[in-house]
Amino acid sequence: MPRWCGRWRPFLRGTPDVTGDGIPDIWALSPDGSVKVFAGGATQLGAGVTVISAGSGWGTTKLSFG
């Protein structure tokens, strides 16, 4: 289960549905620098899936959420 405090998730962003199930999802920056998406659910969040790896160098570019 992910930890949701600022130390473990310094950036969180709720977004409209990105998984196609009609439920909003959450994007989060992880301590290792990777970006994960957590699928929203009717009763709980899904497991985080890494969508941008820590070693990808994404930190030198701009990302747009939402």
The pLDDT, as a whole number, for residue 11 is 73
Residues 21-40 have pLDDT tens digits of: 999 888 888 888 888 888 88
Cβ neighbours around 56 below 10 Å, total: 13
- CB-neighbour burial class of residue 62 (10 A; exposed 0-12, middle 13-18, buried 19+): exposed
Residues 43-63 have pLDDT tens digits of: 887 788 898 888 887 766 666
Report phi then psi at 14, rounded to 5.
Answer: -80, 140
Alpha-carbon gap, residue 50 to 35, rounded angstroms: 6
pLDDT at 66 over 60: no
